[in-house]
Amino acid sequence: MEYQPIIDFIRSLYPNREIVPLHEPYFGGNEKRYVLDCIESTFVSSVGKYVDHFEEMIRDFTGAKYAIATVNGTAALHIALKLAGVQQGDLVITQPLTFVATCNAITYCGAEPVFVDIDPETLGMSPDSLELWLSTNTIIQDDVCYLKDVHKLHELSQVHESTNLHKLSQINELQESFENNSCKFVEIRGPRRISACVPMHTFGHPCKIDRITEICNRYHIPVVEDAAESIGSYYKGQHTGTFGKLGILSFNGNKTITTGGGGMILTNDDELGPLAKYITTTAKKPHPWKFEHDMIGYNYRLPNINAALGCAQMEMLPEILKNKRETAKNYQVFFNNLKDVTFIQEPSDSIANYWLNAILLKNEEERNIFLEQTHSQKVNCRPAWTLMNKLPMFSKSICSDLLESYKVEEKLVNIPSSYR
């Protein structure tokens, strides 16, 4: 198929550009003034007025009772999972169509991901797939959800020493040890606890989070929302990231708003909110001059200079969201008149930020042709992430039937979505 009409339309939305980026940040407000003020104050690290104000702005915007700024979204998710109770050897349910940071954060806790299928309407976790997997594969004992199979053999072969150590950290009891990188078998004894569920609001489109939380509540599984991509997205009038026990946002350089690199933990829990701030600031006990710490903490606090950028971006957020939704509307009208190309629209009961607009091509071959044509004309598009269960470090993870995930991976392309 010839995709020149699509390329021409994209260029009409972003005229006078040699290269049309997929998503670039927009700095149209007080960014320079606030950053310069921060530099002149000399408070450029983790203490200062901007980081506190940025958290306040996020609380007001999302409706979360607590918002704790972190150095990036992965750090936010790492801490959120630990606060939810994820421990070494646990299993954490998520979706295969996500950015690798979701699964990396799970692994940082010494846990392993379990992949359930996505909903083709939302591109997020399918409540039906989640409930089917839980009802088939788990049991509940003393209000704790466990995997039914209490003995599971993992084949670990031809791995580097660092990978060996990573695998060993997740094993409750070794039956055989590693020798000279040869193929060995290890046995995990005892029931595997399902300690969290991490649905993701893909490309800013809210998943059916109310059903997911209802299912997880019945199975006594805390929900930690990966809302990294969905600031400004709402499901049934409530901001994403505020439905579960905890949620997180990301402000990476390519997100709807950016702090250069940054994240945020969201929660309404009066115990977890203060604790999140405490352990992300190295668990330092308050004192005018002493440096005393009473638990393992993390140097994850967002620097004040990054937060200065974030405060200016938050002032621009309503305008940015309006602009991005107008762009999505233009795409929707255009693609409605094309055969064999489907534009991904916001799901029912949702308001999406349309962080990254997406289309579905007819098949994988057509997707690749489209990508070749767009890149040859310097219009930056990209395919969906490779499914997490296909990556080598997660290839042995437990999976449900992932039919919809494979369909989307083969056909989806993200198209330019910057502020215009």
- Identify the structural domains of the chain with CATH numbers, from first to last: 31-315 (3.40.640.10)
Q: What is the pLDDT of residues 167-209, one digit of tens each?
A: 333 333 323 332 333 333 334 446 899 999 999 999 999 999 9
Across residues 266-283, what is the average pLDDT?
97
- State pTM to two decimals: 0.90
Across residues 232-254, what is the average pLDDT?
98
CA distance linking residue 383 with residue 371, whole number of Å: 8
Q: What is the pLDDT of residues 351-388, one digit of tens each?
A: 999 999 999 999 999 999 999 999 999 999 999 999 99
Helices (H) and strands (E) in the chain, counts: 12, 19
Quote the crossing angle between the two packed helices 304-335 and 4-13, to the nearest 10°.
Answer: 130
CA distance linking residue 165 with residue 163, whole number of Å: 5
Instruction: Give 186's strand partners.
Output: 154
C-alpha separations of 250 from 71, 91, 232, 275, 366 in Å: 9, 24, 12, 20, 32
Q: Closest Cα partner for 78 from 356, 298, 243, 271?
A: 298
DSSP string, 324-368: HHHHHHHHHHHHTT-SS-EE-PPPTTEE---SSEEEE-SSHHHHH
Q: Closest Cα partner for 31 from 356, 365, 308, 380?
A: 308
**% pLDDT > 70, the chain:** 90
**Mean pLDDT, rounded, of the chain:** 91
DSSP 8-state assignment for residue 399: E
Q: Closest Cα partner for 356 from 364, 367, 344, 342?
A: 344
Does residue 35 register a pLDDT over 90?
yes
